[in-house]
Amino acid sequence: MSVAPQSHQIAFVLGPQYLRKKAGKLSVLIYDTARKKAELVMQITERIQIQTVGGFEIEGRTGPQIAFSPDLRSLAVLDDSTLQMYALTP
Amino acid sequence: MNRLRILSLALSVTAVLCCCNSLVVHAADRPLIQANLRWSKPASAGLGHPSVLKFVTSSKLAIAGPPEDLPGGASLKQGRVEILDVATGTVTQEIPWSAPSSKGNFALIAALPLSDERFFFQSWDQLMLFSAEGKIVATRTLPIESKQADYNPDLTLWDIWRFLSSPDGRDLLAIRHRVTSREIEEHWLSVEMLEDLQLRTSSGPDNMMAVGREQELCRAAVPKKEPIAIRTKNGESHALCPKCYGSTAVFLNENQIVVSSWPRARFLVVSTDGPNSSRSNNRQEG
């Protein structure tokens, strides 16, 4: 959860409601406290990694790391290999 | 832990405004706020799992990789934090850092935005205050004590420092968890020179979550039994509101607090007046 004091906005991330076999999606939303409205910004597919430990397959699901700028005008998304920067515009 | 948090948040997208006239607002099915890709670049070697991914200003992103042990069994591990220009993605500054190899990988680095586009950076026992232009304007060395663990002679325990800043970036709190005692030190630092403005010592658990200009938010000792507490500096704490049970709370601004709570995925927007405020006018639930 990130907040933007100047614009009175709250950014947050929602994950899949249920675990499924295929990768789910993470939804990035922004809630505007003045307009009392949540808006979907983008969706990011979660990553499924399977490791074999002691003969057992262990499945891990991870999302990218996400950071919002203080003014909520920029969004940084980092996964294992790529860093992406988005401009957020209404 | 992050995964659990995400799963818990996934329970609902519905935002509810809790007023005299209840209003339910659903998240839009399609983006109303456009996210346009500015730039994309491969993560530098060692930056795949950073311990810091933080905007230190609206135009500067700090990203740090995990520490790397120096060859030859050196007593120090080292790393670097890159400051990227948000508009172009170019590295405008690199800040080296180092820490004892015997130190865990957590609580080594902190980066916080401050007022006037300045930012604060911590590397192990070194504090640095940077100007908007990226110049160091003040430094300070923290005291850090260590002791051998009673249960493992090969394990060295160190003091841990945590850092919090107010929403307007004009207040900076350093919290020291001492390894040699149960005392917790709360150092209010000047955001001009990083010297102590005020020192408070407590023997209770460290439960500070966020700080504002005049108030602090504290996690309940038993979060599911007690709501999040708020207290004025040097004052007594009290429940933020009767329904403010939550895992995380941050200051949205000096007058509003956001509480992320359970069991339903929801957040509350609460007035800093807390229980003294009018319920119908000062709380939103989302």
B 136-175 residues with CB < 8 A to A = 167-168
pLDDT score, position B164:
92
Distances (CA, A) of B90 to A73, B41, B85, B133: 18, 10, 5, 15
pLDDT digits (tens, 9 = 90+) for A63-89: 788 888 988 899 998 877 789 999 998
Closest Cα partner for A45 from A71, A2, A12, A79? Answer: A79
Q: What is the mean pLDDT of chain B?
A: 77
Q: What is the pLDDT of residue B151?
A: 93
Task: Using CA coordinates, name the residue in chain A closest to B23.
Answer: A36
Confidence of residue B19 (pLDDT cuts 50, 70, 90): very low
- Contact criterion met (CB below 8 Å) for A72 and A11: yes
Instruction: Specify the DSSP element, H or E, that contains B280.
Output: helix B279-282
- Which residues of B fall within a CB distance of 8 Å from A77? none
* B251 in reach of chain A (CB within 8 A): yes
Q: Which residue of A42, A66, A74 is in closest CB contact with B31?
A: A42
**Residue range B32-53, pLDDT digits in tens:** 678 899 999 987 655 445 568 8
CB distance B35–A41 less than 8 Å? yes
Q: Cβ contacts of residue A84 below 8 Å, gap of 6+?
A: A76, A77, A78, B37, B39, B40
Q: What are phi and psi of B8, to 5 degrees?
A: -65, -35
Amino acid at A10: I
Pairing of strands B109-113, B119-123: antiparallel
- Residue B128's pLDDT is 94
- Residue A10 reports pLDDT greater than 90: no
Write down the pLDDT at residue B278: 33
Find the closest chain B residue to A29 by CA distance.
Answer: B27
B263–chain A Cβ distance below 8 A for any pair: no
The pLDDT value given to residue B20: 25
Q: Report the share of chain A in percent with pLDDT over 90.
A: 8
**pLDDT of B24 strictly over 50:** no
pLDDT(B4) > 80:
no
CB B77 within 8 A of CB B70: yes
Residues B261 and B268 sit within 8 Å (Cβ to Cβ)? yes
pLDDT in tens, B219-239: 877 777 888 888 887 778 888
For residues A61 and A47, the answer to whether their CB atoms sit within 8 Å is yes
- The alpha carbon of residue B148 is apart from the nearest alpha carbon of chain A, in Å, by 32
User: Do the Cβ atoms of B41 and A39 come within 8 Å?
Assistant: no
The answer to whether the CB atoms of A69 and B58 lie below 8 A apart is yes
Nearest to B185 by CA among B157, B215, B159, B217: B159
Whether pTM exceeds 0.80: no
Q: What is the interface size between A and B, counted as CB pairs within 8 Å?
A: 169
Structural element, H or E, at residue B281: helix B279-282
Distance from CA of B59 to the nearest CA of A (A): 8
DSSP state of B3: H
Q: For residue A6, what is the nearest residue in chain B, using CA coordinates?
A: B253
- The Cα B108–Cα B142 span in angstroms is 12
Chain B touched by A32 (CB under 8 Å): no
pLDDT of B15: 31
Region B44-73 average pLDDT: 73
Q: What pLDDT does residue B25 have?
A: 37
B143-176, pLDDT tens digit by residue? 999 899 899 988 888 888 999 998 889 999 999 9
SS (H, E, C) chain A: CEEECCCCEEEEEECCCCCCCCCCEEEEEEEECCCCEEEEEEEEECEEEEEEECCEEEEEEECCEEEECCCCCEEEEECCCEEEEEEEEC
The residue-averaged pLDDT of A49-68 equals 81
Euclidean distance between CA atoms B114 and B111, whole angstroms: 10
Nearest to A15 among B6, B30, B49 (CB): B6
Q: What is the distance between the terminal CA atoms of chain A, rounded to a whole angstrom?
A: 19
- Nearest residue of B to residue A81 by CA position? B43
Among residues B267, B266, B178, B252, the alpha carbon closest in space to that of B217 is found at: B252
According to DSSP, the β-strands at B172-177 and B160-165 are antiparallel
Interface of B with A in 79-138 (CB under 8 A): 86, 89, 113
Q: What is the ipTM of this complex?
A: 0.84
| CA-wise closest residue to B228 among B196, B205, B261 | B261
Contact A72, A90 (CB under 8 A): no
